[in-house]
A and B are shown apart, each in its own frame.
Chain A
Amino acid sequence: MTRSYYESNARARIDALLDADSFHEWLPADARVTSPHLATLELPAAFDDGVVIGRGSIAGKQIFIAAQEGGFMGGAVGEVHGAKIVGVLERAVRDHPAAVLLLLETGGVRLQEANAGLIAVSEVMRAILSARAAGVPVIVAIGGQYGCFGGMGIAARCASTIIMSEEGRLGLSGPEVIETARGVEEYDARDRALVWRTVGGKHRYLLGECDVIVPDSMAAFQQAIIASINNGDAWTLAALEQEHEILSERVQRFGKCKDGRDIWRELGWAEPDAIAMLDNDEFVKAAQGRRAK
């Protein structure tokens, strides 16, 4: 049976993706390193503050991993939660594992923790870049129910590689936030097709923001992770300048588009509405030469 990545929680993902019995958890649940802010507010606090971190191996290669639990406060990043991810990345700078794997599922900053959460997210971004500067690839996987939003959406884009499933979503402001700020006429967060055309895995793949798109199965994510370990974007000044060039071209080319469909048409898809119906293999094949990157 193929296990769904989408339906699994953080611990089940680690269990399925890593080599059997290779996972060693840092600051496990029984260490009870919980959020002091939630305690002050008398809110329930998870034993692991919603993120599971540690080391293990995948296809025999030593990796460090952090897996966010979307089920706990939407995977939101609090002070402890963020510090745990930063710790993994800083340890990678010191110990040079084959890769750091971040299984992201988050709405962004945990608002209850306000500035501490914001600072935590910015520290995660800096730590991702530090790890890459030290030559350690940082691989992000996104395929959970809550997507990857807010500051962590930016953090994800700091990584060497992003792997997504069609079900995954990657963005800055989440759909509800956009609707609240700009009105339902501008963006209807309940329109699932619209949401996926804006932030869904296929759209991110076509824009070139997601490097690999996979079907929603643990085996597919695992294969993609193994293939990405030595295959991510280089972290050099030239690569950064090239990325900036791609982004300014993108504004030129797609700046007037009102919808994902308009972008897809511009990319050469004569029937953009057919994209949603393609299965993963058909989609990847059809996307050759029709992506922005």
Chain B
Amino acid sequence: MTIENLKYRFDNGTPIQGATAIVGVLGSGNLEVMVEPAALGGACEIEVSTAARGFGTIWQAVMKDFFTRHRAGDIRISVNDAGATPAIVSLRLDQAIETFKGQRKT
């Protein structure tokens, strides 16, 4: 189980305000997501470190859906994954954005 590192960048998002947030746990079938503010000229950068190798295209699709939903810019998202399913990943990303914006606690 060696890790695979994946990187994504989505441009032309709307900058969002918030404070660094972390949600989820790096446990089997789960993941932790950290969102930090970052001056990226409206872009959203995502870095994934996953224990499940070879799922790059699925991650790409899940992240693209996520960006389409929120269009959140000027943030850096870091993910540590232990084999979460795409649905879990999407829910965690939504939870992370909500927490970042201060709408709810972890």
> A residues within 8 Å of B by Cβ?
9, 11-12, 15, 28-30, 42-48, 69, 71-72
Contact = CB atoms under 8 A, between A and B. Distances in A.
B58 interface: no
- The dominant DSSP class at the B interface is loop
B74 interface: no
B25 interface: yes
Given A44-B50, A48-B22, 6 more contacts: A29-B32, A30-B36, A42-B2, A43-B51, A44-B82, A47-B80
Looking at chain A's contact residues, is the secondary structure mostly helix, strand, loop, or mixed?
loop
- Please classify how large the interface on chain B is, using the bins under 10, 10 to 19, 20 to 34, 35 or more: 20 to 34
Nearest to B4: A42
A39 B77 CA distance: 20
30 contacts: A9-B25, A11-B22, A11-B106, A15-B105, A15-B106, A28-B20, A29-B20, A29-B22, A29-B32, A29-B34, A30-B20, A30-B22, A30-B36, A42-B1, A42-B2, A44-B3, A44-B26, A44-B49, A44-B51, A44-B82, A45-B26, A45-B80, A46-B25, A46-B26, A46-B80, A47-B34, A47-B78, A47-B80, A48-B22, A71-B26
Interface of B: 1-3, 20, 22, 25-27, 30, 32, 34, 36, 49-51, 78, 80-82, 105-106
B30 A71 contact: yes
Interface centre among B27, B30, B78, B106 (most CB of A within 10 A): B27
